[in-house]
Amino acid sequence: MSEPKPLRVAIGCDDAGYSYKSAIIKDLKESALVSDVMDIGVASNSDKTAYPHIAVDTAQLVASGKADRAILICGTGLGVAISANKVPGIRAVTAHDSFSVERAVLSNDAQVLCMGERVIGIELARRLAKEYLGYRFDEGSASKKKVDAIMEHERTLASKANENGENGTNGKA
């Protein structure tokens, strides 16, 4: 089996995830699994940019094809996942264990891994990031039909929302 093609990886965080992001960036830059690292922010733990902005900006790099994968870190990994999933075509997951990381890619073709600095230790976060980048989705797998169904639902729901003039806020502007 040949080595997987190195990935272009975008990474972002809010102030609650800054120290983990800094450590993971060092690992990414040394990894043969990674060809390019794009640091989307924040630039320091005193930068109070809200996580939705960082998460959406990071996910848009993946959706546009400028990055192959992304890693997002906040306090819990939950807010960044919710935010990243607002970007059409993105499948972002919060995972804090090896099996979930494996299945995120192999069963769900997740392009964005989200983690919480207040939830797991740094060594586990570093290991999960490495594992995540080592997996590749198999387009010939039984899971492909499920991922296609997810994407079809996304297209159908977006089309219906556009027809109805909805803005995706559930009436909350």
Judge contact between 74 and 125, C-beta under 8 A: no
Annotated active-site residue 74? The verdict is yes
Catalytic annotation, pick one of 25, 55, 70, 74: 74
Half-sphere exposure of 71 (CA within 13 A, CB side): 32
162's enclosing H/E stretch is helix 143-163
114's enclosing H/E stretch is strand 112-116
- Determine the Cα–Cα distance for residues 20 and 132; give it in Å rounded to an integer: 16
- Catalytic residue set: 74
